Amino acid sequence: MLPHLSQIEKNFLLKFFAGFSLLYLLVQILPLEAFLQWLASTEAVLLNSAGVNALASATIISTPAIEFEIIRDCSGLLMVALLAALLYATNSRNSLKTLLLFAPLLVAFNLFRLLITLFVGTRFGSGALEAVHFSLWIVDSLIVLLIWARAEGILESELTFAVRN
């Protein structure tokens, strides 16, 4: 049986799911092809710099070992949407400042995440690629949660409590 939710918890969940759903829908319908192509070509350049023969064509990255398509869900924009929805749901005083500060960092981290994923795929095959892709997606989500918790003061209060006890 689910525990009884307070009105604050219900409001948080409603605002979070509504906000994230709207942002997810926007990521799916907005014309992002140029951004996705930029991600693919940037990843190909980074892979070539790491000694992997890679070529980008539109949103497809081709190497001798694998082909990988950069899709909307892998763009890093959903991590930004997750952070925005969390900030919106908690009525954070510094939501815009936090979002403007961390959105570019999340997109940059996504470039690194994709590079590691693709590099592993070129060396160890598609099974390893999928495992790393999923694992680093969890890391992405944890980073977003840590940014949000820090912005909301949740992380500080928990750390303070842990240190005092």
30 within domain boundaries: yes
How much is the average pLDDT of 95-104?
94
pTM tops 0.85, yes or no: yes
Q: What is the pLDDT of residue 2?
A: 58
Distances (CA, A) of 163 to 109, 146, 147, 154, 158: 30, 18, 20, 14, 9
Residues in the chain: 165
**Contact criterion met (CB below 8 Å) for 22 and 14:** no
Supply the range of the domain harboring residue 146: 7-164
Is residue 146 scored above 70 in pLDDT?
A: yes
Number of domains in the chain: 1
92 within domain boundaries: yes
How much is the average pLDDT of 109-120?
95
pLDDT in tens, 148-157: 999 988 877 5
**Contact criterion met (CB below 8 Å) for 99 and 160:** no
2 within domain boundaries: no
1 within domain boundaries: no
